[in-house]
Amino acid sequence: MRVVWAVAGKEILDLARDRRALILGFLLPVLAVPGLSALVEVGTRRRMESPARVAVVSSGDVRGLLRYADGLLEPVTVPDPEEALRAGRVDAVLSIPGDLEAEAERGTAELVLRYRRGDPDGLLAREKVAQVVARYSLPRVDRTLQSRGLDRGSLVPVRLREEAVPGGVGWTGLALPLFVVVWGFAGASLVAADLTAGEKERGTWDILRSAPASRGSLVAGKFLTCWLAGTVLAALGAASQFVLSEAGPPGWTQVFSLLAAAGSASSVAAACALVVGLLSRSAREANQWALPLYLGALAAAAGAEAVRGWPAASLVPVLNAFLLAQQAAEGRPEAGWGWVTVLSSAVLAAVLLWAAARLVDRE
């Protein structure tokens, strides 16, 4: 074990002195990604709060309707509304009958709204136009009800009162399991590429191999470093996501489960990436080969929802880590699932490390 600690200690010291790795590896999950998430959220909110640009087509006077559009719609005049819609210069085209007031009084008014169904701004425009139409219709509905001795309340026999209480992970918290797996993979595999194929490039690999240390100890020391880097990166990413989410500070079981998920994903990633690094001639080649590993991790994350609740999924490395992180994010981690995740990941990592130790002396 002394050799294992010696290798891990040296690699961690070397990594700690690499400013570029520290900046990229640690500030990225803590600041950059949450910062980007916040920017996306601000952009989305601004888009929702700004009025939709709607081309209004009508032969009559529509001021009565547009009086209710303040803050929701920005009516624009364009020579060819259909072309403007296709080109994205307007979010929607609203066709209003020329005699809207009269038709509305008769209850036969029909407005036509055209929008691009794949355009988020078009979908938002639809919501906003619906609100304007509702506001415009409401006084008439009230008058009609009054004339019949009714009020709005009599149309809704059952009412729903909503009371929001603090809690839940919010939209940001939903991304947490993905970040745990992705950061665990990224941290472990980037470091593994540097500690194996990178050493070959720098000419230190052969002097390391000339040392009278067992191959298993050399691989285990490097594995510890990669695993630690992946776990720390995933934990930092998870912590920053928690801060951004509305869930509040996590409980101890959530923290342990998230660490178990991060450590499990990182152990598989580190062992895979060490094998790939030992088969590669340069760090660049190792990183190219690691790309399918990332995609595999993402595929596991993407498919997780479909197998959620299946007990057998707890035996599939990476997928089980993703689901464990999901349980932790939702505040209901299962201890049994956590143990199976840790053990199955450890078994796979051990098999891969056994293979890696045999690759150290490969020519």
Binding region for other proteins (CB under 8 A): 2-3, 6-7, 10, 13-14, 17-18, 202-204, 206-214, 361, 363
Helix (H, G, I), strand (E, B) or coil at 89: coil
- Cβ proximity to other proteins, 196 vs 266, nearer residue: 196
Q: Shortest Cβ distance from residue 233 to other proteins (Å)? A: 20
- Cβ proximity to other proteins, 91 vs 194, nearer residue: 194
Torsion sign across C-alpha atoms 268, 172, 161, 158: negative
- Cβ proximity to other proteins, 213 vs 346, nearer residue: 213
CA–CA gap between residue 94 and residue 84 (Å, rounded): 12
- Please say whether the beta carbons of 180 and 241 come within 8 A: no
- Cβ proximity to other proteins, 198 vs 237, nearer residue: 198
First to last CA, the chain: 26
Amino acid identity of residue 249, one-letter, is P
Q: Shortest Cβ distance from residue 271 to other proteins (Å)? A: 22
112-115 and 92-95 strand pairing: antiparallel
Q: What is the DSSP string of 112-130?
A: EEEE-TT-HHHHHHHHHHH
In sequence order, the β-bridge partners of residue 56 are 94
- Cβ proximity to other proteins, 22 vs 141, nearer residue: 22
Closest Cα partner for 250 from 323, 337, 196, 176? 176
Q: Shortest Cβ distance from residue 213 to other proteins (Å)? A: 4
Q: Shortest Cβ distance from residue 356 to other proteins (Å)? A: 17
Q: Shortest Cβ distance from residue 4 to other proteins (Å)? A: 10
Q: Shortest Cβ distance from residue 220 to other proteins (Å)? A: 13
Distances (CA, A) of 325 to 184, 187, 214, 235: 12, 17, 36, 11
- Cβ proximity to other proteins, 67 vs 202, nearer residue: 202
